[in-house]
């Protein structure tokens, strides 16, 4: 990476790190929120939902706007909105006797802001890096996202020891300075200024999905399912650590950090190695990663020993870390710069909804049974691996420039 790009890229890498704090930092302190505000478990869960649904719905709109107006002009204000939403929630908790409704409103604001963050950072990285270095850069972005997943439950639990609403203020403290850095330091490549009409734009998008729709959808599903499984399993893990082993709070955060830490390291390494390999290895990385995730789910379904469980979770982290940088590269490369924002953000929405539904679905384990739940997850990931094997086609998704370099 050129020296003049290191600082701007470090700022872009901070964006997915901040975004992933949005939910993960609050999970360890949901019991404290429930007690402090005298709300039900369902109402506590809405604090997560109020963030996730607006974010998932906003992501494609942010992508469309970024293709028309530029990445920074959407991303910087989105980061400020994200931070302000956190400050609204924190201030409500600090000043109001019954803060729950306003806190929920702050979370909705925060989710709207989150919709214009990580995926646009991914799209802008795709704009900046035009060579094989794009794969490494996207792997680093995924590693930053994974590092946020590692740090956030630990940080949330630690901040909760001060006071339960302290994490909300952290969002503003981190997001607003990063927004300013994105605006003033990151240089956005000159985009075509032909200003397509909406009709021309959507015709071009239809052409992209007509030509590349099947491999794109297969890639979307691969990214979605590994995050669905990862967050579902982590939610389940948090529950059983407390119920079966009496481990909670800060120590739960430390143990949850093991699989997500493995994912972050693997994302970094796979991004670095894929940069040096031929394009065909992108598909191979996705398939091998899905096979590892399948194996991890099969192991969890069959064994109850906690040590075997954590071995399976390490496999889950490695598999997820192998899948995501390769999928990111294929998707950001499938569209020209003028449409990349929307394509990337549609992918971002599928990822976000995968994360959003993982926890409630895996919460059904007590009703359907652990073995049935995890065998079902095994079958699901295996099916997506087969779809990836048959339908992901690098030659359709990668531009000739990248294929010729391999």
- Pair of tokens at residue 248: 């909670």
Instruction: List the pLDDT tens digit at each of the 406 positions of the chain.
Output: 677 778 888 999 899 888 888 887 887 787 778 889 998 767 877 887 788 888 888 988 887 788 778 889 999 999 999 999 999 999 999 999 999 999 999 999 999 999 888 878 888 887 887 666 777 787 788 778 778 877 887 888 888 888 999 999 999 999 999 999 999 998 888 754 445 666 766 777 777 778 788 899 999 999 999 989 987 887 788 767 767 777 766 777 777 778 878 887 887 788 777 766 556 688 899 999 999 999 999 999 888 788 898 899 999 999 999 998 889 888 877 776 666 667 777 888 888 788 777 777 777 776 788 888 899 999 999 999 999 999 998 777 776 555 555 4
Class of domain 3-183+205-404: mainly alpha
Helix/strand/coil (H/E/C) assignment for every residue in 44-92: HHHHHHHHHHHHHHHHHHHHHHHHHHCCHHHHHHHHHHHHHHHHHHHHH
Nearest-angstrom CA–CA distance, 209 and 11: 32
pLDDT at 193: 43
The CA-CA-CA angle for residues 26, 30, 31, to 5°, reads 150
Q: Retrieve residue 31's tokens.
A: 């019991």
Classified as helix, coil or strand, 189 is coil
Q: What is the pTM of this model?
A: 0.77
Burial of 42 from C-beta contacts in 10 A (0-12 / 13-18 / 19+): exposed
Contact by Cβ (8 Å): 394, 403: yes
CB atoms within 10 A of CB 267: 30
Report the distance separating Cα 221 and Cα 236, nearest Å: 22
Cβ atoms within 10 Å, residue 18: 25
pLDDT for 98 equals: 92
Which residues have CB under 8 Å from 388's CB, separation 6+?
218, 219, 221, 222, 283, 286, 287, 290
Quote the CA–CA distance of 229 and 290 in Å, as a whole number: 11
Please state the domain extents for the chain.
3-183+205-404
Closest CA to 330 of 238, 215, 246: 215
């Amino acid at each position: 990476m050129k020296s003049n790009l290191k600082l701007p890229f470090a700022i872009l890498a901070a964006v997915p790190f901040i975004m992933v704090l949005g939910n993960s930092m609050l999970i360890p302190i949901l019991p404290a929120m429930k007690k402090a505000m005298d709300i039900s478990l369902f109402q506590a869960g809405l604090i997560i939902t109020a963030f996730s649904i607006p974010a998932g719905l906003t992501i494609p709109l942010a992508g469309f706007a970024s293709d028309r107006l530029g990445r920074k002009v959407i991303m910087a204000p989105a980061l400020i909105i994200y931070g302000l939403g956190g400050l609204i929630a924190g201030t409500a908790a600090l000043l109001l006797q019954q803060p729950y409704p306003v806190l929920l409103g702050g979370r909705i604001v925060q989710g709207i802001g989150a919709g214009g963050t990580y995926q646009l950072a991914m799209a802008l990285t795709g704009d900046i890096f035009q060579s094989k270095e794009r794969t490494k850069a996207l792997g680093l972005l995924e590693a930053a996202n994974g590092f946020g997943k590692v740090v956030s439950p630990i940080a949330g639990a630690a901040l909760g020891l001060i006071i339960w609403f302290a994490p909300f203020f952290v969002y503003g403290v981190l997001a607003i300075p990063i927004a300013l850095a994105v605006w003033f330091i990151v240089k956005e490549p000159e985009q075509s200024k032909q200003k397509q009409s909406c009709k021309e734009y959507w015709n071009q998008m239809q052409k992209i999905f007509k030509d590349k729709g099947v491999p794109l959808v297969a890639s979307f599903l691969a990214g979605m399912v590994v995050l669905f499984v990862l967050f579902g399993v982590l939610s389940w893990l948090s529950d059983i650590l407390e119920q079966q082993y009496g481990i909670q709070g800060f120590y739960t955060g430390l143990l949850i950090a093991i699989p997500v830490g493995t994912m972050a390291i693997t994302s970094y390494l796979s991004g670095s190695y894929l940069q040096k390999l031929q394009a065909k290895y992108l598909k191979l990385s996705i398939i091998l990663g899905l096979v590892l995730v399948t194996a991890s789910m099969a192991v969890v379904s069959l064994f109850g020993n906690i040590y075997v469980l954590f071995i399976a979770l390490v496999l889950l982290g490695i598999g997820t870390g192998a899948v995501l940088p390769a999928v990111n590269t294929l998707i950001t490369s499938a569209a020209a710069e003028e449409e990349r924002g929307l394509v990337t953000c549609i992918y971002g929405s599928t990822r976000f909804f995968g994360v959003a539904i993982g926890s409630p679905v895996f919460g059904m384990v007590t009703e359907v049974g652990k073995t049935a739940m995890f065998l079902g997850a095994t079958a699901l990931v295996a099916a997506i691996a087969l779809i990836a094997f048959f339908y992901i086609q690098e030659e359709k998704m990668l531009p000739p420039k990248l294929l010729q370099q391999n």
